Every structure is written in structure tokens, then in C-alpha cells.
Structure 1
Amino acid sequence: MKLKKILNNNAVLVVDQGEEKVAIGTGIAFGKKKNDVINPQKVEQLFVMKENEKLQQLLDRIPEEHFLISEEIISYAEKYLGTKLSEHIHIALTDHISFAIERTQDGIHLQNKLLNEIKILYRNEYEIGSWAVQRIREKYDIDIPIDEAAHIALHIHTMKLQGGDYRQTIKHTVIVREMIQLIMQKMAMRFREDDISYQRLVTHLHFALSRVSHYEMHELDQEMLSMIQKKFADSYQCTKEVTDIIQNKYDIYFPESELGYITIHLNRLKQ
């Protein structure tokens, strides 16, 4: 394992078995120069990185300790989830965490309006984000807001294999929140966030959006649908009005079968 380029004191670009890799370890670059052999025992993390230039640009403009805390969070996330994350997480999450720390130190606190939905939809990732926020608080003695746990959760979710596109994930979460607000408004109700029926509704809306986006139909026979429309008329009417608004605004079409399932969830909440 030979050193090709020093990224910072704790990260170097190496050639290992004929392949370029990024090696991370505390003080791994100390006293080293190009073509020096890197002691494998000094390496805490080793991964292939196709975006080496972008990583170098990022490391040039952020404090080294921000990179190290981000790598600590990434390692924790991979162990917690039992899976490797996309290599891009080393750029995307590090950039976000560095900016979040700087904002907090400047007294700027940004509210994450999707916090409650993210807690429900991405429970494991949110647990990791909560751990990360607590770790940053301890390490830097700053009051970084818990809202950041939700931001970190989304980054981790979209960096899992088949985790999805970050923008699409945000869009779906925004739409779910908008649908919940419309339902509360039309039904003149407030929902408790710890209510299992509320959590089931949020989760169902999320997967319903995913299904209709991929043209996957959740079937419901016509006889059952007719019964739901009659027996839960108020809830069905609310569902129809809300999905019509979403269809007009986002060009998302909900088939009748999905309306039936959403109606059942709304009726549970009413009870």
C-alpha cells in the first residue's frame, strides 16, 4: 500500500493492489511523502473513492475535525444498519455536518419542518441521526438542534443501496406532510405523533406515493371499495378532496383502490 497523495493529516490517497483507495487513520499522513509505504495497522478505514477530486476540494475548505466526526458517524451508521453506504456519503454528509456545525456556532438554527415525518418513515436512520447530534454536542460543546438528526437521517437513507434519490425522498416527505396537514384541516382534528394510527397513516401515505410513482397498483376489489365508500363516507370524502389537491398540484394520480386504503386509515384516526 503506497501513498499517492496526502489529503490531510488523517486521510491519504493510496494505491492498494493496483487500485486507488482512500485510507483514513489518525495521523496517517504524519511525516509521509509520495510513494512511502503506509502501515496497514494505521488504517482505520479503507475505501474506493471515484470522486477523489471532489473530496480533495471539500477537505481543502473545511476543518479536519469536521471530516473526522463525519467519518465516525458514517462508521456508526454502517455498523448500526449492517450495510455499506455509497461512497458519496463521505462527501455529502461531511459537507452537511461541517455546514451545520458552522451554522450552530454562528447562532443560526434552522428548523426542519419534516422532523416528525422523518422520525416515523426512517426510524433507524433517525436513531443514527440522534446519536450523531449527541456526539457532536459532546465533542464541540455546542447546542446543535435535534432537527439536524432528521437531515442526517435523510442523507444516510439515500446513501444506502437502493435507498433512493435525495431530492425525490425530500419531495415525497414534503407531500406526505402536506397531505397530513390537509387531512387535519378538513377533519378539524389534531393528531398525536405517538399515536400508532397516525404513524400507520404517515407510513401508508409514503408507500402509496412510492407505488403510484412507479405505477404499482395496490388492488382492492370493487365490492369492498363500495362498502368503504358508503360505510366511511366522511373519511372517503376527505381522502378524495386531499388526493385531488395533490393531483392538481403535483400531477400525481391516486387510483380508487389507494383512496380506499387511505380512507380506512383515516377512519381509524377518527375513532
Structure 2
Amino acid sequence: MKVIKNINNNVSLCLDSNNIEVVAFGKGIGFTKPPYEVDLNQVQRTYYDIDPMYINMISDIPEEILDISDNIINYARIKLDNPVSSNIVITLADHINFAIQRYKENMNIKLPIVHDIQYLFETEMEIGEYALKLIKKKLKVFLPKEEAAYIALHIINAESMNKNKKQEKLDEEVIDDICDIIEKDFQIKVDIIGFNYSRFVSHMHYLLKRGKKNEMVKSENQKLYESLINTYPKTYECIQHVRKYLKDQMNWDLSDEECIYLMLHINRLCAREDCYQ
């Protein structure tokens, strides 16, 4: 296996014997300057068909969380009839990493559709509950039950392998338009190869899916929402422009709960290292 790019000390982008790109994990395989041939005995696991936009996210995720995500997805593949994309190993690890950060900051965001997910998607919810037990065992972190439902939602979204290309293009256009709104409001140029942009795009895809199914998240987190408004007035102003855009273009009413998550992602997207002033 030929290493063509190092992502971090233990993760590299490689070419297999058929010259197909693969993301490989293995202790120390990223130490040597590429290109070079790596001994297959050093490779612990590989992922094919990883979207390039997710590759940069890997270096920002602790290895133990990537291991946990990999374990969860392997469990999901045993439990589910439908296949799931390899990309979810990365996006789920990123979600878990973010959830643990929120936990450490005592920021618990309620998900009002937990019982609906439990009732309608029993297997996916079981996978989410398995994930919480694994996180508790491996990291001694006690995430709330809502996180099991969020993980279940990741699994549900990943089960659909056959995307409608026309709709996918439309989604990309919507995301580009919203990114333009952010750039205009903050007078910046977003670094589209940055990992925070990848997170933002991933979040927007999930938001658009929920909107199409009329499943916008709603809850009673008014105090948290008001706190964010007071702390980030410029971000709140930008959110109102995004709300108007979605109302005009899609006839969607963005809930306050959706705004909370979107504000957090926009704040990360507009961090100094991820944009050009």
C-alpha cells in the first residue's frame, strides 16, 4: 500500500494495489514523508469512498473517539439491513467529539423528538444507546439520553445510499447561497477547505433533510437561545437573514432550536483561522 498524503501521525491517505484511494489508520504510519510503501502489518483499518471534504476533519478528532465511532458503525452494520456509507465513521466521530465538548461545558441541548425516534426507529435508537454505553465505558463520559437519539439520526441519514443527484445539486446551491450570506454579513471569505467548513456543510445537509421531511427540531431551550443572542448579536443578525432566505426559497420556518445549532456552527465557521478577513 502506497502512502500519498499524511493526515496525522497515525492516519494517511493511500493507494491500494488497484490504485484506489483509501484512508488508512495505523500506529506511526504518518511519520514518514510520502510517497512511500507502508507494510500492511502496520495498517489497523481502512476506509474506502471517504468524501474528500471529510478527510481534513480527521486530524481534529482524538484517535480514541475515532475508534469508538468505528466500533459503533461496525455494530450498526451488524444490526441493520441497509448499508451505511464509510463517511459516517468520520461525521459521527466529529459529532461525538462535539457532544463531549458540550458535556464538559454543561451545555445540554434537549431533543424533543427522542420518543418519536424510539418508537419509529427502534434499531437505530438501540445503536445510539449502545454508543452511549461504549462512550461511558471507554471515556468515563456520561452523555444524556438525547445524544443516543442524535446518534440514531446520524445512522438513519447514513442508511440511504442512493442519492437523488438533482436534489443533491439543489442542496449544494442552497448551502452555497447561505455561505454567501455569512460571508456578506461578516465581511469575510470562508476557507472552504477548512475542517469547520466541512462540519458546517455536513450540518446543513442534515438540516435540509429534516426540512424536506418537515421534521425541524423544536424544543423549549429559550434561555439558551436568548443567551446566545445576547452573546453573539452579529451571528443572530446573520441567522435572521438565513431564516428569511429559507422562508423565501423553501417556505420553511427555521425553529429556534435549529437556530441554536446553526449559530454554533457559524461561530466556528467564522473563527479567525478559518476565514480570510
* d(CA) in 2 for partners of 1:96, 1:37: 33
- The yes-or-no answer on 1:29 pairing with 2:29 is yes
1:263 aligns with none
- The yes-or-no answer on 1:8 pairing with 2:12 is no
Give the aligned length: 179
> What's the secondary structure of 1:174's corresponding residue?
coil
Instruction: Report the CA distance between 1:7 and its aligned residue.
Output: 1.7
What is the correspondence of 1:147-186 to structure 2 with a 5 Å cutoff? 147-162=146-161, 166-167=206-207, 170-171=210-211, 172=213, 174=215
> What's the secondary structure of 2:144's corresponding residue?
coil
List gaps (5 residues or longer) in structure 2.
164-204, 220-250, 253-277
What is the correspondence of 1:56-71 to structure 2 with a 5 Å cutoff? 56=56, 58-71=57-70
Instruction: Report the CA distance between 1:22 and its aligned residue.
Output: 0.7
Q: Give 1:85's aligned amino acid.
A: V
* d(CA) in 2 for partners of 1:44, 1:146: 32
Cα RMSD for the two superposed structures: 3.0
Q: TM-score, with normalisation over the residues of structure 1?
A: 0.57
Q: Does the aligned pair in 1 maintain the 2:3–2:12 contact within 8 Å? A: yes
CA distance 1:152–1:91, shift in 2 (3 Å): same
* d(CA) in 1 for partners of 2:30, 2:218: 49
2:101 aligns with 102
1:19 aligns with 20
Instruction: Report the CA distance between 1:50 and its aligned residue.
Output: 4.8
CA distance 1:46–1:126, shift in 2 (3 Å): same
CA distance 1:66–1:176, shift in 2 (3 Å): closer
Q: Does the aligned pair in 1 maintain the 2:83–2:159 contact within 8 Å? A: yes
Q: Give 1:160's aligned amino acid.
A: E
Instruction: Report the CA distance between 1:98 and its aligned residue.
Output: 0.8
Instruction: Report the CA distance between 1:176 and its aligned residue.
Output: 11
Q: Does the aligned pair in 2 maintain the 1:8–1:64 contact within 8 Å? A: no
Instruction: Give CA-to-partner distance per residue, 1:81-112, whole Å, 9 cap, x none.
Output: 25541233133212211100111122222211
Larger Rg: 1
Instruction: Give CA-to-partner distance per residue, 1:107-131, whole Å, 9 cap, x none.
Output: 2222111100011111111111100
Instruction: Report the CA distance between 1:52 and its aligned residue.
Output: 2.9
Of all paired residues, the percent bearing the same amino acid is 31
Instruction: Report the CA distance between 1:62 and its aligned residue.
Output: 3.0
2:177 aligns with none
What is the correspondence of 1:90-169 to structure 2 with a 5 Å cutoff? 90-162=89-161, 166-167=206-207
